[in-house]
Amino acid sequence: MDQGKLIAEVMRRTEVRVGPKDPIFAVVEMNRLALEESVGVLLRQAATLANSITAAGTEMSERLERVANQRIQGNLESARQVIASDAKIARKDVASEANEARHAAAIAIQQVANSHRRGNVASTACLTISLALALALLAFMAGTYFAPALADVPVCKPVRAQR
């Protein structure tokens, strides 16, 4: 503060007249010097404290980041295990369904093969019966053709019993 303004303010408040060479100004200057030094010490302490707070904040941030990363890694590992377990179950389910499908396909193939066999058996039976009927018809026709010519031929000589 300007010395002239200070003298005017003291006069206005206390009605005491102080001059520029008054010893009270020496006390004011001493007070100002002490205050400046105290404020300087306080500012240096505040700067040190601010640096300490900044360092502590940085350390806390790094620690939180490490803890968060550890938890994330733990969660990722848990997720990997769950996914691996689910994949294992899914592979078993797929294998089981594939086995069931193979079994069903084998049964279907066997049924188709059996139906073809039955069809072949039926075809063979029909063919056999047809051939048997054709042979029987042929034998009948031969018998009727040759029967008149063989009517006079004795089939066997009567054997007389000897006494």
d(CA 60, CA 48): 18
pTM strictly above 0.75: no
DSSP 147: T
Which pLDDT belongs to residue 36? 93
Which residues touch 11 (CB under 8 Å, ≥6 apart)?
Answer: 17, 18
Give pLDDT tens digits along the chain (163 positions). Answer: 688 898 898 889 999 888 888 888 888 889 989 999 999 999 999 999 999 999 999 999 999 999 999 999 999 999 999 988 988 888 888 888 888 888 888 888 888 777 766 666 767 777 788 888 888 888 877 777 666 665 565 555 556 666 5
